Structure 1
């Protein structure tokens, strides 16, 4: 199965993913951003875009990469990746469902001022206009479809350890470490 951690930049997806992986038996982290990195490395380059998710090959490559990793290694994939375009999420989730791969979709949410502060004071990546630019699209997605389609976990004032434990408990409580109660 896949435990997908969605939410915008600064919500804590990457940190939480590593912690969730340590709490779920036979799990591993697959960062779909690396698929985008592969596409970005193609030379000569693909058409100009501000986000590799807009390249049509990215979405089926994420599906196929996840499918192949699960086929090879089994277990659970924890996938931290922001997907704010509903059409893209539908393409990915229906592609995985078409292979019979269950998904637990979580959105890590934090209030906008907290996200802004986290992005501007990020000690690893530093301040980022690119990451800040996704605050409004996140708000729009959260209001229109994203929060409706996932289990929302507020990370505003909660430690990453508690967020990870909440996710792991939800997955394990539902008996979803190997099967999902909700295929999206």
Structure 2
């Protein structure tokens, strides 16, 4: 099974992914951002967003599906805002027989902006992340009502272990 952690930039996907890997026995993490960085070095990326590359989306499906073989859970922390890209990637995984549960991490806008401002590790991406907050919140709000196998989880006001525990509990419920 793949647990796809979606959410606005700064919503805590990476932190929750680490905690989720502790909470799920034998879980491993796969980050398609690494693939995006590699593709960006190998070819021009029109518009600067590697998600716009069809190769990135195809290879994400292939590599995430490969990582999920053998029955080990795979945690993928990656923002997917465009509905067509979510459908292509998550649907592609499902068509290959890989169960996928998308988890959207919700964070109120003021908290999200404060997290972005306080993130020294991604300081170079601060302006870009701020420019995408409104779009991310609009695109991802209510996603569980529109897309199957999707749950929304609040990721503010409590620690990552509590968020991970809620996600683990959601994996046993049928949406």
Q: Shared fold (TM-score greater than 0.5)?
A: yes
Q: Which moved more, 1:157-166 or 1:57-66?
A: 157-166
Q: Residue 52 of structure 1 aligns with which residue? A: 50
Q: Is the 8 A contact 2:8 2:137 kept in 1?
A: no
SS at match of 1:49: helix
Q: What is the alpha-carbon root mean square deviation over aligned residues?
A: 1.6
Between the aligned partners of 1:57 and 1:146, the Cα distance in structure 2 is 25
Map Cα deviations across residues 86-136 of structure 1 (whole Å, 9 max, x no partner). Answer: 000000111101110000110001011110000011132226101112101
Please give the residue correspondences for 1:32-181 in structure 2 after superposition, counting only pairs within 5 Å.
32-42=32-42, 45-71=43-69, 74-126=71-123, 128-143=126-141, 146-148=143-145, 149=147, 150-171=150-171, 173-174=172-173, 181=174
SS at match of 1:3: strand
- Structure with greater helix share of residues: 2
Structure 2: 5+ residue stretches without partners: none
Aligned residues: 171
